[in-house]
Amino acid sequence: MAENNAPVVNKDTMIGELLQIDTELAPILMSIGMHCLGCPSSQMETIAEAAMVHGYDADDLVDEINSYLSAKAASQPAQA
């Protein structure tokens, strides 16, 4: 986890795991053309595999996801 308690993902994170972290990540995935999020096989793809199949740079996708997660965590009230 990052300093602000945001989860951090990498290119080996599975799409299924990613959506368990935050279902609100679905629009980011759909924006690269990944409209098959409910498909069982997509759940077992890594971020890198999904990016490759959809012609998107995996590092850019990971950066976008981590930026979203960090911003969301920063906007949450601190927990005691």
**What is residue 50's three-state secondary structure?**
helix
d(CA 40, CA 71) in angstroms, rounded, equals 29
Q: How many domains does the chain have?
A: 1
d(CA 65, CA 12) in angstroms, rounded, equals 13
Encode pLDDT of 20-78 as tens digits.
Answer: 999 999 999 999 888 777 777 777 899 999 999 999 999 999 999 999 999 999 998 76
Domain-embedded: residue 67: yes
For residue 1, the one-letter residue type is M
For residue 37, the domain's CATH number is: 1.10.3910
Encode pLDDT of 1-27 as tens digits.
Answer: 445 688 999 999 999 999 999 999 999
Domain-embedded: residue 9: no
Residue 80, pLDDT above cutoff 60: no
Domain-embedded: residue 6: no
Domain-embedded: residue 66: yes
- The pLDDT assigned to 2 comes to 47
Domain-embedded: residue 80: no
- Note down the domain range covering 53: 15-74
Domain-embedded: residue 35: yes
Instruction: Tell me the chain's radius of gyration from C-alpha atoms.
Output: 13
